[in-house]
Amino acid sequence: MADVPSGGSSGQPDSLLSTVVGGESFAQVALKEKVHDSLAVRPSWTYYQYALEAMDNQEWLLARHYLDESLRQLISEKYDTLYHNAPDSIDSLYRSQMPLRIVNALDEVYPNIAEIGVDAQVFEQNEVSIEGVDALDESEADSAALQVIENFLDTVDVSQFTLPVEFNERVMQEIFYMSGGARSFTEGSLNRKTAYDSLVYSKLDEMNMPRDLIYLALVESGFKLKAYSRAKASGMWQFIPETGKRYGLTVDYWVDMRRNPEMATTAALKYLSRLYSEFNDWLLAMAAYNCGEGRVRRLVKEKMADSTWDTTKVVTYWDLELPKETMRYVPRILAAMVIGHYPEHYDMKINQQYRPDFDTVTVFDSFPLEEVAKILKVPEDTLRSLNMELVKWCTPPNRDSYLLRLPVGTRSAFVDGYDKMEKNNFSSWHHHKVRRGESLGVISRQYGISVKELQQANDMKGTRIRAGQTLLIPIKVTPKKSSGKKPAKVKTYVAKLGDNVASVARLFGVSQESLRVWNSMKEDHVVKPGDTLFVSKPELKPVVPQAPAPKLSKGERYVVGEGDTYAEIAKKFGVPVVMLLEANGGFQRRLSVGDSIVVPEFTQTVQKSSAKPKVAEKPADKPAAKAGKAKPEKSTAEKVHVVKKGEGLWDISRQYGVTIEDIVRWNDLKDTKIRIGDKLIIRK
């Protein structure tokens, strides 16, 4: 490494004098700078690097947070002998250049913050996590302070805690820190925690896990659902993208399910449960959650292989030399647990908070939240706060369906205005790197879209762009000329022994999520041999009435098609349902696509039509059933749907591709009001 950054006669690095050099952004150029080894370890430099990375990712509020922290650390370093290990000349030059670096970076950041129109203070309160062990001042407790803490802990009954705890000096130091230097963070976190207690505790109880694991989320995020960290972790449980995806939390340009409290909590507890099953120790499981199971696994093996280790003893968390952050991470969780059980002793005021009630609708189109806000006459920020996982300005265009949360009582307004909303007809997306001299107008004309669409796609309020900036370009669907051919039929697949959702998805090159949506499957659905599955997207709108069928010859057979039920087939051929059932074994026989069934002769005249149904071989004649009045139609393809919180008949009808009127009729409902836990019959 070079001893100091390269610079001109001004003493300021040349690379910081201009916004863009050779097509590269300010951040890209600044990230290439090197400093003396003694300077690279300083917190001021570390946070400056975090800021540049955030700028490169266009996370402007996060960049500002890190730049402020860099400046704060730079000031404190002047009085800290720990950082006086650099030669005086290098140290002096660093101190003179760093303020200039920070100011130049802020000059890049502030205009972008102004464009997105978000209050930076609100951002820090709601979206910046505690940042591990080095984000806040951590002065050590002296012996007198530790004695005060220990005196109280001597009166505490440890059996009330569900995590194993010993009140050693490491835990007491963290109690001192969490109740002192990080007091504001701890008190705010305990207040936010009250809104999520019922959610987290119910899932912990369901999985038979220690209730005090809830304090892991407190240390990770302070219960800030959109909390960021420098390791690119996010959400209440601070998953990094790779681990999040491993546990079913989709992270892409449009959604970040790590911010969904229900899904993230389930994922975190599954991960912790798996870690516990390996290490058989909750403290080791928490350590592995922080620094990775591979490292903990290796350190445990090394400890057991150490010739000085008593092999009759079990290796615990307290026996390991872990990374600095993890050494304080587990004691900090235990400290938060103690304070959380006794907030009044630490003079912390806790007020019960509540998550807002909401309605839900399942949507199959992509549309701007701004459009929904107009329809519902609510602020767009209200919708964003209810749908924290939405990263951008619209519902995700790359998903078959999305469960949208709405302010309670607004579902009817949404349904009424749904058809009037502007939908996004984008088929794909392109990344465009801005060149010198380009404007939004030039770029929008290049791709055949409007400036407004370009602004929406990039969540921009104004028109200011910079060379080197990357813009997301929505590519519109281009209607194809008709080839005269009929549209491709929806593909189906009959499951075989050993098939499951994952194997079928791989076989046809589709996602598991799509399969579940197309076939109305729950997460725990088990595929059985003989099940007929949609393996391409079916029509999700109500089925249109079918044309009447022609008269069939006596005993002719009909090949079951997609969407067919006994009731539909009987209606198609003008045959009473009861006769059709009697001729084909009754309700015991389940219909599947491709089945060949008997359509009995019926004396009533059937309307003629030029269209012919699919027919197969004729079997031996069977006696015709006596004609009579058909019983009320029933369907063998019945499903019982249990109403969940926030669901209405509109959501359920969209989910199953039926009409609200159908559900009302099938269930003999007096009106359209339903309650959580109601069981509704759905017929296909």
Task: Say whether pLDDT at 148 is over 70.
Answer: yes
pLDDT at 364: 80
User: What digits encode the pLDDT tens for the residues 380-430?
Assistant: 989 998 999 998 888 888 777 888 999 998 988 898 888 788 776 665 667
Average pLDDT over residues 644-671: 77
Domain boundary among 614, 633, 652: 633
Determine, yes or no, domain membership for 201.
yes
- 3-state class (DSSP) for residue 343: coil
Specify whether 287 is located in the same domain as 260: yes
pLDDT at 484: 46
Please tell me whether the overall predicted TM-score, pTM, comes out greater than 0.75 for this model.
Answer: no
pLDDT at 555: 55
- The domain of 523 spans 492-534
Instruction: Give the residue carrying structure tokens 């249109």.
Output: 544
pLDDT at 84: 55
User: What digits encode the pLDDT tens for the residues 506-534?
Assistant: 787 777 777 877 787 877 788 888 888 88
Specify whether 544 is located in the same domain as 512: no
Q: Give residue 181's identity as a one-letter amino acid code.
A: G
Q: Which residues contact 328 (CB under 8 A, 6 or more apart)?
A: 133, 170, 174
Determine, yes or no, domain membership for 100.
yes
pLDDT at 500: 87
Higher local confidence (pLDDT), 542 or 55: 55
Name all contacts of 119-126 with Cβ < 8 Å and 24+ positions apart: 120/61, 120/64, 120/65, 123/61, 123/62, 123/65, 124/61, 124/65, 125/188, 126/224, 126/226
Tokens of 180: 């002192």
Higher local confidence (pLDDT), 645 or 35: 35
Task: Say whether pLDDT at 634 is over 60.
Answer: no
pLDDT at 592: 63
pLDDT band at 667 (very low <50, low <70, confident <90, very high): confident
Specify whether 239 is located in the same domain as 313: yes
Specify whether 69 is located in the same domain as 158: no
Specify whether 166 is located in the same domain as 297: yes
Residue 21 is classified by DSSP as B
Residue 141 is classified by DSSP as P
Determine, yes or no, domain membership for 350.
no
| Cα separation, 513 vs 494, whole angstroms | 18
Specify whether 212 is located in the same domain as 325: yes
Domain boundary among 283, 309, 341: 341
Q: Which residues contact 441 (CB under 8 A, 6 or more apart)?
A: 451
Tokens of 415: 């349904």
Determine, yes or no, domain membership for 121.
yes
CA 18 → CA 22, 49, 101, 464, distances in Å? 11, 18, 12, 17
pLDDT band at 276 (very low <50, low <70, confident <90, very high): very high
Pick from 64-78, 297-311, 628-642 the range whose average pLDDT is largest: 297-311
User: What digits encode the pLDDT tens for the residues 235-272?
Assistant: 899 998 889 889 999 888 788 899 999 999 999 999 99
pLDDT at 664: 79
Higher local confidence (pLDDT), 122 or 71: 71
Average pLDDT over residues 490-517: 80
pLDDT at 198: 93
Name all contacts of 63-69 with Cβ < 8 Å and 24+ positions apart: 63/105, 63/109, 64/106, 64/109, 64/110, 64/113, 64/120, 65/120, 65/123, 65/124, 65/128, 66/230, 67/102, 67/105, 67/106, 67/109, 69/43, 69/135
Average pLDDT over residues 213-236: 86
| Cα separation, 212 vs 351, whole angstroms | 19
φ and ψ at residue 638, rounded to 5 degrees: -100, 150
pLDDT band at 575 (very low <50, low <70, confident <90, very high): confident
| Cα separation, 375 vs 356, whole angstroms | 20
CA 81 → CA 42, 84, 86, 241, 516, distances in Å? 12, 5, 11, 38, 60
φ and ψ at residue 596, rounded to 5 degrees: -110, 120
pLDDT at 626: 41
pLDDT at 599: 80
To the nearest whole percent, how much of the chain has pLDDT over 90?
30
User: What digits encode the pLDDT tens for the residues 98-115?
Assistant: 999 999 999 888 887 776
pLDDT at 542: 27
CATH code for position 642: 3.10.350.10
Determine, yes or no, domain membership for 164.
yes
Specify whether 378 is located in the same domain as 406: yes
Burial letters 468-488, b for 16+ CB under 10 A, else e = bbebebbeeeeeeeeeeeeee
| Cα separation, 545 vs 395, whole angstroms | 31
Specify whether 550 is located in the same domain as 466: no
Tokens of 445: 């004309």
Largest pairwise CA distance in the chain: 107
Contact 390, 254 (CB under 8 A): yes
Specify whether 567 is located in the same domain as 530: no
Q: Give residue 641's identity as a one-letter amino acid code.
A: H
Higher local confidence (pLDDT), 388 or 547: 388
Specify whether 231 is located in the same domain as 149: yes
User: What digits encode the pLDDT tens for the residues 18-48?
Assistant: 444 445 778 888 988 988 888 888 888 988 9
pLDDT at 182: 87
Determine, yes or no, domain membership for 661.
yes
Higher local confidence (pLDDT), 134 or 434: 434
Return the minimum-mean-pLDDT range out of 319-328, 402-411, 454-463, 497-506: 454-463
Closest CA to 58 of 461, 463, 458, 475: 458
- 3-state class (DSSP) for residue 221: helix
Residue 434 is classified by DSSP as P
Return the beta strands (E) in 356-467 as ranges. 358-363, 402-407, 426-433
Pick from 241-255, 313-327, 362-376 the range whose average pLDDT is largest: 313-327
Average pLDDT over residues 289-313: 93
Q: Give residue 261's identity as a one-letter amino acid code.
A: P
pLDDT at 578: 65
| Cα separation, 230 vs 218, whole angstroms | 17
Instruction: Give the residue carrying structure tokens 């009140």.
Output: 167
Mean pLDDT score across all residues of the chain: 78
Higher local confidence (pLDDT), 153 or 596: 153
Return the minimum-mean-pLDDT range out of 172-181, 361-370, 657-666: 657-666
Contact 227, 218 (CB under 8 A): no
Specify whether 271 is located in the same domain as 151: yes
Specify whether 202 is located in the same domain as 289: yes
To the nearest whole percent, how much of the chain has pLDDT over 70?
76
Contact 227, 236 (CB under 8 A): yes
Determine, yes or no, domain membership for 485.
no
Contact 257, 250 (CB under 8 A): yes
pLDDT band at 476 (very low <50, low <70, confident <90, very high): low
Exposed/middle/buried for residue 181 (C-beta within 10 Å: 0-12, 13-18, 19+): middle
pLDDT band at 671 (very low <50, low <70, confident <90, very high): low
Number of domains in the chain: 7
Higher local confidence (pLDDT), 665 or 256: 256
Determine, yes or no, domain membership for 348.
no
- 3-state class (DSSP) for residue 598: strand
Higher local confidence (pLDDT), 176 or 131: 176
